[in-house]
Structure 1
Amino acid sequence: MTTCVDTSPIQSTLPARRPRPHAVVIGSGFGGLAAAVRLGARGYRVTVLEQLDQPGGRARVHRQDGFTFDAGPTVITAPFLFEELWALCGRRLQDDVDLRPVAPFYRIRFDDGETFDYSGDAAAMRAEVARVAPDDVAGYERFLAASEAIFKVGFEQLAHVPFDRWTDMARALPALLKLEGYRSVYGLAARYVQDERLRTVLTFQSLLVGGNPFDTTSVYCLIAFLERRWGVHFAMGGTGQLVQGLVRLIEGQGGTVRCNAPVHEILVERGTACGVRLDGDVRMAADVVVSNADSAWTYKHLLPGVKRQRWTDHRLDRARYSMSLFVWYFGTRRQYPDVAHHTIALGPRYGGLLGDIFDRHLLADDCSLYLHRPTATDPSMAPPGCDAFYVLSPVPHLASGIDWRAHAETYRQLIARRLSATLLPGLEDAVVTSRLLTPQDFQDTLSSYRGAAFGLAPQLAQSAWFRPHNRSEEVRHLYLVGAGTHPGAGLPGVLSSARILDRVVPHGRQLARAHETAAA
């Protein structure tokens, strides 16, 4: 077992008596930053350690050739979760970040060129459904009512509640069964509507949290109502503005965010987390450790001296993981004003393609794409007369054996041809800047096990109590936040995982009193 006796320069510069207990947060994704703010508000001195050269994790920002590209999350829902963090610091979100509603939420383009504008306007949505599937209008309304019922349980009652014990799951199970949580997202939609196109429109959102709609628990149908209730937003200047705002909140609380500071080990003494080991065998002591790293990565790589009882290598290797992503960021010398902020460009197959990605681990040519055009809302993301984009293709994770060093450019060209023939005519001649993110990068740069972009897949048998707990089952005073723990991926999920810390981490005053008692 690793000892926590520190002789490093960091330890020697700490005062002999700490006025506040110290919390170390590993990773500065939205889950880690939100955790830091909440811990700071509860009496902790917080240090956030980020292995990359800037904060944000998957939400970092790429700037090149006058273009700004959000690396990861672009769909902002449930903004009240951000407002809570600002309120904890006595500030208002709107004073620091300008959130703008996006309409439509998404424009879905079917393979034959027909489109469907998915929005939060009830009348407009009813009209779109009537246009595409006139016989399914009543069924769509029933699906939305089911989504609301699931939302009231799955999000309002359970998303911020820890599932530490199996009895927590037992109490929630009757409600989940009543709401048919045993069905898949696609299965629940298919119960209410018959048109295949409409089924696709109502189920693709589970891909935004890493789940195959054909086997993701129907609890994630709550997304439809969540979006209807709070809308879809964009942060002017990019999602990175939210990251910078959270960093300022942490620093205003007296906390620190350190970049270029990879954590190599969580130090454990007598079964309790007591710090972390950094480069050069530098050790930083902590009263609590919160990992915003991928949960599988945390258990497999950051606890080398711990004999794990539940999240063993064998169990983690057998678990089901989300798909990965191939992302191409590019800027054009011209603008495409007819392209919406968020576009879902569907290929000719839906179920078959998802089977290739999730089950057969094949890289298909007939990909479906998510195209993000932030300049539709904020022209400052690109130079005058230009457009900024990123296009995302769901692809198999690294267990597929695909060598992305060999396939990345070929696949990018395939996507470019597809976009040029559909949404962005003349694209190949208009691109002036470009960069890629592959599944290999998810593993090598972002420390995602198997390059899975969203961690464990959101299946019923890997949700709630069955997911790695927010309070670690393996090590005392170790806590997990982010996509790989409860409640799951997506901005509302990772921000809710940080909310759970308020229930499971001792208040700073409690630990401070414990230190004083021990000293006496």
Structure 2
Amino acid sequence: MPEIRSAIVIGSGFGGLALAIRLQSAGIATTIVEARDRPGGRAYVWNCDGYRFDAGPTVITDPACLEELWGLSGRRMADDIVLKPVDPFYRLIWNDGAQLDYSGWGERLEAEIARFAPGDLEGYKRFLTYSRAVYEEGYVKLGSVPFLHFTSMLKAAPALARRQAWRSVYSIVAGFVKNERLRQALSFHTLLVGGNPMKTSGIYALIHHLEKSGGVWFADGGTHALVEAMVSLFERLGGTLLLNEAVKTIRHSGTRVTGLVTRSGVHLEGDAIASNADIVSTYKMLEDSAYAAQKARRLERKRFSPSLFVVHFGLEGKFPGIAHHSILFSDRYRPLLDDIYDRGVLPNDPSIYLHHPSANDDHAAPPGRSTFYALAPVPHLGKAAVDWEQEASRYRDIVMRRVRDLLIPDIDERLEVCFHYTPQDFTDDLGAHLGSAFSLEPILTQSAWLRAHNRDDHYQNLYVVGAGTHPGAGIPGVVASAKATAGLMI
């Protein structure tokens, strides 16, 4: 492979930014091309009447993977952004009022489990041992390894088989604890990266140890402040960021890509192109390529993660009794997941992730007010062909009613700002195939070599980074994918 001296990165999500920082730190002149008016991809931000609304993601784990980006050039992340610990990590709430504060403090969490499910404390400790083991195998050893050849997957198979990777996260958890609600508490994390706990490989139980060892954090100033800090680092290193430049075409000749053209007519050339855009959209940018058209069709036949319906709202008043992160569980767990992942049914009893940044950040809202968002997993557009322009208002009422009934009885009287984001918006704003919020579903048959490869098999200098490639979605996942991809490019 010829040496790469210049590179173009399509998209400025966390994966694209992390890759661009690695390339620029290595002396590769890098340009990021971003379609939207702000960097960040899914980590967008809106400012409305003094309220700040982060689009997400809002849960930051494994800060060391981010600190490493600054360390590449001898800098410190703390000089650009402050991460605040979140405690508890999550407050889990059920409809009958039962609650479990889920934290990283060993003794405190064990005391909570002993209170919540007295007979399962020893089982939980055994699960923790399992989680630590799969963390070492699946995250430390394999998280930033590019699986370009099937043989590399075969080499990893024995270790994963020893950990029963073919079993689901829920099945693994159920083998350790008996209380159904504790099973939900220890398995819901896969939903944060687009995975169904009933089908996602048990390897993803590593998230529990990842959180316990590295903590759960919140960026001071919101998630987008972390994006801006990464952009600042990239630009100080000499990188270039172009905003409002949607890519129309990736140019190619033979087995190499040569450059791109944006919709506004900007032509860019580089020794390599890496895409942080949606994986299906990426291959559709390669016009007049029979290979790329076939690749896009193959990808379209894969299983994609669900979408999300998100309600952003600002309220009069402060809410010290509401945790930074809350999970409001539906009375249904497996049947609800079946509706979303398999049956394509829009549930009237959604489980909800409630984000309350005002719990840790007084600047997220005007004085005496609070910022929230309520997020409900919903089927993607290929599973449920919902007309969201017609359906959104009704579904927003369902989501807000859940929050009202469980936490804020007078939410309607306090409401000052409210807007929503639908699966159709994921498609329109982000080019997300079927409105999927997390790209390819993280199931065993779509993992490692069976996921989109970090370097394309045909175009030798076309690379992929982000949720669609190994290891998958979530900030640690896409930052690890950037490390894997950078290792191939540098």
TM-score interval (norm. to shorter): over 0.9
- Partner residue of 2:23 out of 22, 27, 39: 39
Match of 1:435 in 2: 419
Give the C-alpha shift of residue 310 in structure 1: 9.9
**Which deviations, in whole Å up to 9, do the C-alpha atoms of 1:28-74 show, x marking residues without a partner?**
00000011100101121111011000111111111111011111110
**Alpha-carbon shift at residue 314 of structure 1 (Å):** 3.5
- Which of 425, 438, 460 in structure 2 is aligned with 1:454? 438
The answer on whether the counterparts of 1:296 and 1:455 sit within 8 Å (CA) in structure 2 is no
Q: Does 1:417 align with 2:401?
A: yes
CA contact (8 A) 1:25 1:48 kept: yes
- Other-structure match for 1:314: 297
- The answer to whether the aligner puts 1:286 opposite 2:270 as a matched pair is yes
2:178 aligns with: 194
Measured after TM superposition, the shift of residue 353 of structure 1 is 0.4
Query: Which residue number in structure 2 is paired with residue 150 of structure 1?
Result: 134
Matched, 1:335 2:335: no
Q: Deviations along 1:137-156, whole A, 9 cap, x unmatched?
A: 11111111000000001000
* Alpha-carbon separation, structure 2, partners of 1:353 and 1:213: 11
Conserved 8 A contact 2:127-2:173: yes
CA contact (8 A) 1:417 1:428 kept: no
Distance 1:367 1:156 in 2: 34
Q: Which residue of 1 aligns with 2:338?
A: 355
- Kindly indicate whether the alpha-carbon contact (under 8 Å) linking 1:110 and 1:346 is maintained by their aligned counterparts in 2: yes
TM-score by length of 2: 0.97
Q: CA deviation at 1:280?
A: 4.1
* Pairing 1:167–2:141 present: no
One-letter code of the match for 1:187? S
Measured after TM superposition, the shift of residue 22 of structure 1 is: 1.8
Q: Structure 2: how far apart are the matches of 1:63 and 1:483?
A: 26
Counterpart mapping for 1:82-93 below 5 A: 82-93=66-77
Is contact 2:95-2:406 (8 Å) kept? no
Find out whether 1:369 has 2:361 as its counterpart.
no
Alpha-carbon distance between aligned partners in 1 of 2:245 and 2:175, rounded to the nearest angstrom? 50
| Runs of 4+ residues over 4 Å off in structure 1 | none
From 7, 18, 36, the counterpart of 1:52: 36
Contact 1:310 1:474 in 2 (8 A): no
Report the equivalent of 1:346. 329
Secondary structure of the 1:274 match is: strand
Secondary structure of the residue that 1:242 maps to in structure 2? Answer: helix
Q: Secondary structure at the match of 2:52?
A: strand
Per-residue Cα deviation, 1:161-194 (whole angstroms, up to 9, x for no partner): 1100000000000000001110001011011111
Stretch of structure 1 that moved more, 72-81 or 429-438: 429-438
Pairing 1:326–2:344 present: no
Deviation at 1:304, TM superposition (A): 2.2
The aligned counterpart of 2:228 is: 244
Aligned position for 2:374: 391
Q: What secondary structure sits across from 1:349 in the alignment?
A: coil
In structure 2, the CA distance between the partners of 1:309 and 1:282, relative to structure 1 (3 Å rule), is closer
Counterparts of 1:465 and 1:275 in 2: how far apart (Å)? 27
Indicate which of 382, 390, 413 corresponds to 1:406. Answer: 390
Secondary structure of 2:60's match?
coil
Q: Quick one: distance in 2 between partners of 1:191 and 1:450?
A: 35
Match status 1:120 vs 2:120: no
Deviations 1:4-39 (A, max 9, x none): xxxxxxxxxxxxxxx982211000000000111001
SS of the counterpart of 2:290? coil
Give per-residue Cα distances to partners, 1:96-153, cap 9 Å, x unaligned: 1111110000000012111000000111111111112111111111111000000001
State the Cα RMSD in Å.
1.3
Does the CA contact (< 8 Å) of 2:303 and 2:440 recur in 1?
yes
How high is the TM-score relative to the length of structure 1?
Answer: 0.92
CA pair 321-478 structure 1, distance change in 2 beyond 3 A: same
- Whole-Å separation in 2 of the counterparts to 1:503 and 1:46: 15
Distance 1:387 1:412 in 2: 19
* Contact persistence 1:323–1:357 (CA under 8 A): yes
- Which structure 1 segments of 5+ residues have no match? 1-18, 508-520
Are residues 1:130 and 2:114 paired?
A: yes
- 1:473 offset after TM fit, Å? 1.7
Amino acid at match of 1:308: Y
> What letter is aligned with 1:293?
A
Structure 2 counterpart of 1:68, which letter?
Answer: R
**CA spacing shift, 1:276–1:114, aligned 2, 3 Å:** same
Distance 1:283 1:310, change over 3 A: closer
Q: Choose the corresponding residue for 1:302, options 282, 285, 293.
A: 285
Name the structure 2 match of 1:476.
Answer: 460
Amino acid in structure 2 at the alignment position of 1:337: P
Distance 1:314 1:417 in 2: 40
Amino acid of the structure 2 residue aligned with 1:244: E
Amino acid in the other structure paired with 2:338: G
For residues 313 and 236 of structure 1, what CA distance do their matches in structure 2 show? Answer: 39
Structure 2: distance between partners of 1:275 and 1:234: 37
What does the per-residue CA deviation read over 1:409-429, in whole Å, with 9 as the maximum and x for residues that have no partner?
A: 110011112211111121112
SS in 1 for 2:165: coil
Q: 2:364 aligns with which of 357, 368, 381?
A: 381
Cα deviation digits, residues 418-473 of structure 1 (max 9, x gap): 21111112111211112211000001111110000000000000000000011112
Cα distance in 2 between the residues matched to 1:461 and 1:215: 11
Distance 1:311 1:129 in 2: 50
| Partner Cα distance (2:259, 2:336) in 1 | 44
Of all paired residues, the percent bearing the same amino acid is: 47
**Is 1:80 the equivalent of 2:64?**
yes
Match of 1:498 in 2: 482
1:212-265 CA distance string (max 9 Å, x none): 000011111000000000000001110111111111111111111111000012
The structure-2 alpha-carbon separation of the partners of 1:94 and 1:51, relative to structure 1 and needing over 3 Å to count, comes to same
